[in-house]
Amino acid sequence: MASTRDVRDVCDNPCAAVLADVRAWREYVGEGHEYGYMRGLGRVRGARWAQWGPDTYTGGDFWDGDGILRPLDELRRMWASNGIDGSKTTIFYCGTGWRSSFALLIGLSLGMNCRNYDGGWLAWAHTDANAASNPCDVGPSENSPSNTPLR
């Protein structure tokens, strides 16, 4: 597990680990999400996009057209193309922790050194005592992938 303090430490020292955002593209760039109770848009400063699917509740990027998990090598290449290559500790997060838990299991299956920030965007931007000062980004960034979402 990773705590809010751990994530804040990575924001202060990006060489320490990779933050991997397991949310839909529109969530990653701060255009919106389907959580009715959550305000605020964006991502943790410096996070790389780990993909998910077309919206908060549809994870199509990890499954093929028949709903079967894509081969692990394909998922490894997908993440590597977004700068998540397993060379550093990877901290997965999402909106509330359920999507990042799934990514954590994939990462562990790939032999990655990884952790899960299960508080996710909800903790970072809302429930943490320092939420108002936690660094956030919106829009595409220098570490945004050159490829567009699979959907």
The span from the CA of 122 to the CA of 127, in Å, is 6
* Domain residue ranges in the chain: 4-137
Quick: pLDDT tens for 99-144: 999 999 999 999 999 999 999 999 999 999 999 999 999 998 765 6
Largest CA distance in the chain: 43
**Residues 64-93: pLDDT tens digits?**
989 899 999 999 999 999 999 999 999 999
Task: Name the active-site residue from 11, 15, 94, 136.
Answer: 94
Instruction: Examine the pLDDT at 12 and tell me if it is beyond 70.
Output: yes
CA distances from 125 to 63, 79, 96, 106 (A): 29, 24, 11, 26
- Specify whether 114 is catalytic: no
4-137 to CATH, choices 3.30.930.10, 3.40.250.10, 3.90.1170.50, 3.40.50.300? 3.40.250.10
Note the pTM of the prediction, 2 decimals.
0.92
